[in-house]
């Protein structure tokens, strides 16, 4: 698939690493609004999942999906998938504000749910999702792609696990994105649908802050949003940032924005800086600024022994997907705990709700 400009269809190809035999893990796709659905399905297929069927009420998205996954079956209605007893998990990238309702239907039908981030847009939805997980025993997994589907992010986690930088004390993330407004659907600019920038792309960074600090909870101590330069879209937050104190007193700060300029080689120069007591790590996730064609997967490590540049593109893979499949089959939580997935969403929603609005001057 050709790379397009806005990152909405970022769907990296990893090395196939099946964790199950063909047919052991059957899944379907429901809600195809956001291009992340391709990456989600890719990842599961590479890990051995069988994509059986897909459905969206918009024929346009059905056509695009059919071209991408010709072996899967176009379902006639959502029910056809929900009633299919062979389907273990439903992957969905519905309009953000509809993702929770879809998840409730999926879990009520006895299936695990794997949704694009942000997984929901209100704290009320979050309470419903938490309750449904409890009553159905099903999973509400979230595709926080900027960590689980980015090799530099996976590798950084492995370095920290090995103790390469000691105890993590701070995480700073930049999540710039290209707006590509012409290619965006109308709902993308309506706050009740996309949830605000901190709820939406902010959730990637909130998840990473929790993950790399090893924290289970945190407090949002400051958050801000602005529409600095897009008055034609009055409900768009083109800028947002948030600061979090974790339950282990590490801290996190991130900025997200829609200001990636057209001259940049990629839709966003996503970065993550992890400061530890014994060293630090920088990730340049999708590109190495100033070097066109540099690809993704740039990890820089400095500690007491070394200063090293690792280019890990194509070398690390994406263990999340195989772990998720096995978690569904074995009812474990190795890919990501349910509480972690919800906590990242919760903190993002709180950051959005409490954000100070910086007026453009």
Using CB under 8 A as the criterion, which residues of the chain lie in contact with its own copies when the complex forms? 166-167, 169-170, 172, 174, 176, 221-222, 224, 226, 228-229, 239, 241, 243, 245, 248-249, 251, 253, 255, 257, 259-265, 269, 273, 275-280, 282, 289-292, 300, 302-309, 356, 358-361
**Smaller CB distance to its own copies: residue 122 or 243?**
243
Q: Which among 184, 282, 287 is positioned nearest to 236, based on CA atoms?
A: 184
Burial 216-243 (b: 16+ CB within 10 A, else e): eebebeebbbbbeebeebeebbbbbbbb
Closer CB to its own copies, 78 or 257, in the complex: 257
Quote the least distance from Cβ 191 to its own copies, whole Å: 20
- Sheet strands side by side (includes 251-257): 307-311, 298-303, 279-284, 271-276, 168-176, 251-257, 239-246, 218-226, 356-358
- Residue closer to its own copies (CB basis): 189 or 228: 228
Q: Minimum CB separation from its own copies for residue 228, in Å?
A: 5
CB of 259 to its own copies, least distance (A): 6
Give the shortest CB-151-to-its own copies separation in angstroms. 17
CB of residue 54 to its own copies, shortest distance in Å: 37
Min CB(252)–its own copies separation in Å: 10
Closer residue to its own copies in complex, CB, 162/262: 262
Would you say 8 or 164 has its CB closer to its own copies? Answer: 164
Which CB atom, from 58 or from 278, has the smaller least distance to its own copies?
Answer: 278
225: its two tokens: 């949003």
What DSSP line would sit under 266-326, residue for residue?
Answer: SS---EEEEEETTEEEEEE-S-BTTBTT--S-EEEEEESS-EEEEE-TTTS--HHHHHHHH
Give the nearer residue to its own copies in terms of CB position, either 91 or 164. 164
Lookup: tokens for 244: 């979090």
What are the backbone dihedrals phi and psi of residue 107, each rounded to the nearest 5 degrees, phi first?
-70, -35
Q: Which is nearer to its own copies, 103 or 279 (CB)?
A: 279
Q: How far is the CB of 143 from its own copies (least distance, A)?
A: 27
Nearest distance in Å: CB 199, its own copies: 20
Return the exposure string of 130-166: e unless at least 16 CB atoms fall within 10 Å of the residue's CB, then b. eebbeebebbbbbbbbbbbbbbbbbbbbebbeeebbe
The minimum distance between CB 314 and its own copies, in angstroms, equals 19
What is the rounded CA–CA span in Å between residue 180 and residue 169? 35
* Cβ distance to its own copies smaller for residue 86 or 278: 278
Q: Which residues, listed in sequence order, are joined to residue 53 by a DSSP beta bridge? A: 28, 73
Q: Nearest Cα to 274, choosing from 212, 207, 348, 220?
A: 212
Q: Among residues 72, 67, 64, 66, which one has the least CA distance to residue 45?
A: 72
In angstroms, rounded to a whole number, what is the distance separating the alpha carbons of residues 120 and 342? 9
Supply φ then ψ for residue 122, to 5 degrees. -140, 155
Query: What residue has token string 């999540």?
Result: 175
């Amino acid at each position: 698939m050709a790379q397009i400009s806005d990152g909405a269809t970022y769907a990296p190809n990893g090395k196939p690493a099946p964790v199950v035999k063909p047919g052991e893990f059957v899944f379907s796709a429901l809600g195809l609004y956001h291009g992340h659905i391709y990456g989600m399905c890719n990842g599961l297929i590479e890990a051995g999942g069988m994509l059986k069927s897909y459905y969206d009420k918009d024929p346009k998205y059905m056509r695009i999906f059919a071209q991408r996954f010709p072996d899967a079956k176009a379902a006639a209605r959502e029910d056809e998938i929900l009633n299919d007893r062979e389907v273990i998990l439903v992957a969905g990238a519905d309009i953000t504000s509809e993702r929770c309702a879809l998840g409730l239907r999926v879990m009520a039908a006895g299936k695990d749910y794997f949704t694009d981030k942000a997984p929901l847009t209100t704290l009320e939805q979050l309470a419903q999702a938490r309750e449904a997980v409890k009553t159905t025993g099903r999973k509400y997994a979230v595709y926080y792609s900027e960590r689980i589907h980015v090799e530099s992010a996976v590798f950084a986690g492995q370095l920290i696990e090995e103790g390469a930088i000691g105890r993590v004390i701070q995480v700073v993330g930049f999540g710039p994105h290209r707006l590509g407004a012409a290619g965006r659907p109308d709902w993308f600019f309506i706050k009740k649908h996309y949830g605000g920038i901190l709820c939406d792309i902010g959730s990637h960074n909130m998840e990473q802050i929790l993950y790399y600090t090893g924290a289970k909870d945190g407090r949002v101590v400051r958050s801000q949003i602005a529409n600095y330069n897009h008055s034609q879209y009055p409900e768009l937050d083109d800028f947002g940032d948030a600061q979090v104190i974790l339950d282990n007193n590490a801290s996190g700060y991130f900025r997200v924005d829609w200001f990636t300029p057209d001259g940049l080689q990629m839709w966003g120069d996503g970065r993550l800086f992890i400061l530890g007591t014994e060293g630090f790590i920088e990730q340049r996730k999708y590109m190495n600024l100033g070097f066109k064609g540099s690809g993704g997967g740039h990890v820089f490590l400095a500690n007491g022994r070394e200063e090293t540049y690792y280019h890990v593109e194509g070398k690390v893979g994406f263990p999340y997907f195989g772990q998720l499949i096995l978690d569904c089959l074995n009812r474990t939580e190795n890919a990501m705990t349910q509480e972690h997935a919800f906590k990242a969403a919760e903190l993002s929603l709180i950051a959005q709700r409490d954000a100070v609005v910086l007026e453009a001057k």
